[in-house]
Amino acid sequence: MNIANEIDSNLPQNDQFDAQGNELSLDVIDKKWAHLHQQKLIMFTKKALDFVDATAEKETPLTLLEAALKKLTHEDFVVENIPHAQYQKARELASNIQVLAKDIEHQLYNNEKKKNDVTRKK
């Protein structure tokens, strides 16, 4: 979706003058341009909003965790295929992933524990 390919940013020259050949003010030209492209602008705006909504709905913490797990368990992820020159970087990444995974699991455990404690107190 490229709005620049669909909508000309300039009003045609013949629409920039009144019946007597006098140049129209910029405000009038802007209004004529907006009126001319109103439907396409609305369509592009709706598409953009739909895209934003769909993306926001997809990117929840749970879906991000699922995507991360899917990538780490992908059939093309074969440790033996990592070039020896990249082992150090790969180990650092694996270590960072491990630390983050432990932290996430710890946070979830604590949140669940707090929830259960609150439920028991009621």
Query: Among 12, 34, 58, where does a domain finish?
Result: 58
**pLDDT (mean) for 33-46:** 91
User: Residue 27: pLDDT band by 50, 70, 90 thresholds?
Assistant: very high
Both 68 and 118 in one domain: the answer is yes
The total of structural domains in the chain comes to 2
The most distant pair of C-alpha atoms in the chain lies apart, rounded to whole Å, by 83
Both 54 and 82 in one domain: the answer is no
Q: For residue 74, what pLDDT is reported?
A: 95
**pLDDT (mean) for 76-97:** 96
Q: Which of these, 51, 39, 29, 47, lies nearest to 7 by C-alpha position? A: 39
Q: Hunting for tokens 């990444």 — which residue is that?
A: 93
Q: Is the pLDDT of residue 120 over 80?
A: no
Both 51 and 65 in one domain: the answer is no
Both 70 and 109 in one domain: the answer is yes
Alpha-carbon gap, residue 65 to 31, rounded angstroms: 48
Both 77 and 47 in one domain: the answer is no
Distance of alpha carbon 114 from the chain centroid: 33
Both 54 and 66 in one domain: the answer is no
Structural domain for 20, as ranges = 1-58
